[in-house]
Amino acid sequence: MSKLASADSGVPTLAVSTVIFTLRPNQAGAMQLAIALVRRIKKPYLGLWALPGGPLSMNEDLATAASRNLLETTGLHPRYLEQLYAFGNLDRSPNDLAEDRVVSIVYWALVGSEEAAEAVEGENVQWFWADQLDPLAFDHSLIVEYALWRLRNKLEYSRLAHGFLGERFTLAQLREVYEAVLGRALDPGNFRRMVQGNGAVVATSERLEGTRHRPPKLYRYDSSIDLTDQGPLNTGERK
């Protein structure tokens, strides 16, 4: 199996990184999709922003390492966590010294908006709007682009929006999540019919507390439906 190996005796380093999504209010008060990034404090790409991550340690599961990235970066726990992809192209680092090769197994995570408001921020850890990113270190721009694509695709056929919301929500709040993730306005009437038609969201007997004359009804996700379907891995990974 090793006949293609080069003369050097090195092996690729294995790292785990995490794309952390949340919704945060923008200056106009509308929810907008944001990503947590860390600033590089060493070469290569010194000073650029990058996905949080680090080497996989010997006694950690992959998902545990991804959760730890999230906790160490933001002080938060994920509402949803899924493996995205393993990135291992030879040219993903500008430094072509063979001993620097890193293969990154990347996860993506959703953090609730309320928790995200409490998140750690600092000079070297910040939230950025997902659709307004400058070029990131390494191949991280491509990784974020792929994570966004996966998030937008999954939103349409799963109850993934739950990862940003509380247990109870109005249809307007749910629509706001869809609008923030998809990056476009949705017609309220069409959205209501879509949601009520697919059956994943059920009305509760409660209404939003407030001062309005006719407060909107609160909904919840049908818990008998999986947050998102990974088939055999749904049980296999939790053994």
Enumerate the β-bridge partners of residue 31.
25
Q: Is 89 in the site for its own copies (CB under 8 A)?
A: yes
Q: Does 139 bind its own copies (CB under 8 A)?
A: yes
Residue 130 CA: distances (Å) to CA of 88, 168, 183, 197, 223: 23, 26, 10, 30, 29
Of 73 and 173, the one with the shorter C-beta distance to its own copies is 73
User: With respect to its own copies, which residue has the nearer C-beta, 61 or 206?
Assistant: 61
Number of shown-chain residues binding its own copies (CB under 8 A): 47
Q: 207, 217 in Cβ contact below 8 A?
A: yes
Q: Does 6 bind its own copies (CB under 8 A)?
A: yes
Nearest partner of 162 among 199, 201, 190, 129, judged by Cα: 201
Segment lying near its own copies (by CB under 8 A), choices 96-104, 119-127, 172-180, 201-209: 96-104
Calculate the CA 52 to chain-centre distance: 12
> Is 85 one of the binding residues for its own copies (CB under 8 A)?
yes
For tokens 């923030």, what's the residue? Answer: 180
103: contact with its own copies by CB under 8 A: yes
The tokens describing 189, both together, are 């009437």
Structure tokens belonging to residue 154: 């999954």
Which residue number, 59 or 224, has a Cβ lying nearer to its own copies? 59
Report the distance separating Cα 154 and Cα 134, nearest Å: 25
Helix (H, G, I), strand (E, B) or coil at 151: helix
User: Could you say whether residue 96 binds its own copies (CB under 8 A)?
Assistant: no
* Binding piece for its own copies, criterion CB under 8 A, among 23-31, 112-120, 138-146, 218-226: 138-146
The Cα–Cα gap between 220 and 205 comes to 10
CB of 188 to its own copies, least distance (A): 28
**Binding residues for its own copies, per CB under 8 A?**
1-2, 4-6, 8, 10-14, 54-62, 68, 72, 83, 85-86, 88-91, 98, 101, 103, 105, 139, 142, 145-146, 149-150, 153, 230-233, 236-237, 239
